[in-house]
Every structure is written in structure tokens, then in C-alpha cells.
């Protein structure tokens, strides 16, 4: 497993723990604002993982270009659209 994959998996495991924490907060009837704050942190974490994955794929596109330039351009455009899409 390469270093970047390990970072992504570690971040996802932390996010999983955050989600379990939110579930416990709801079970414990914690304040709404506290639950929302934690959900916002989960969303930020997921956005970060998505950015890491897209960045890694972009890097691979530049380092190992396909033989078909049109297909390569389409992949790059898709990656960029995923980054800026909200």
C-alpha cells in the first residue's frame, strides 16, 4: 500500500469514528448545535478525502499520460469538475 492510500484510509477511519460519535451524541440527546458542529467536521473530513483522491488521480494523469489525448483531457476535466463541484 502506498503512502497516499494509507493517509486516505487513516482519514476515513477517523471520519468513521466521528460518525459513531455523532450517533452516540444523538442517543445521549446532546444539544442540537453540538451535533451539527460534529456533522460539519465530518463533512469537512469527507471533502478533504475527496480532494486527496482527486489530487492523486490528477497526479497520476500527469505522470502517466494515456495514449489517447482526448480521453486524457476528458479525465482531467472530470477531475477538475469534481474538485470545484459543491
Instruction: Supply the DSSP string of 6-48, one letter for each residue.
Output: HHHHHHHHHHHHHHHHHHHHHHTT--HHHHHHHHHHHHHHHHH
Mean pLDDT of 9-35: 97
Mean pLDDT of 21-36: 97
pLDDT classification of 6: cutoffs 50, 70, 90: very high
Is residue 22 pLDDT above 60, yes or no? yes
Tens-digit pLDDT profile for residues 55-76: 887 787 777 777 677 877 787 7
Q: What domain count does the chain have?
A: 1
CATH code of 75's domain: 1.20.58.1000
Judge contact between 46 and 18, C-beta under 8 A.
no
Q: Which domain holds residue 63?
A: 3-84
pTM to 2 decimals?
0.75
pLDDT at 70: 82
Amino acid at each position: 500500500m502506498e503512502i497516499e492510500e494509507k493517509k486516505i484510509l487513516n482519514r476515513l477511519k477517523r471520519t468513521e469514528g466521528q460518525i459513531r460519535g455523532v450517533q452516540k451524541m444523538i442517543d445521549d440527546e446532546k444539544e442540537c448545535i453540538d451535533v451539527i458542529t460534529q456533522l460539519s467536521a465530518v463533512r469537512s473530513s469527507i471533502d478533504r478525502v475527496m480532494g486527496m483522491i482527486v489530487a492523486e488521480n490528477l497526479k497520476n494523469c500527469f505522470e502517466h499520460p494515456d495514449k489517447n489525448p482526448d480521453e486524457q483531457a476528458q479525465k482531467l476535466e472530470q477531475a477538475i469538475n469534481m474538485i470545484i463541484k459543491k
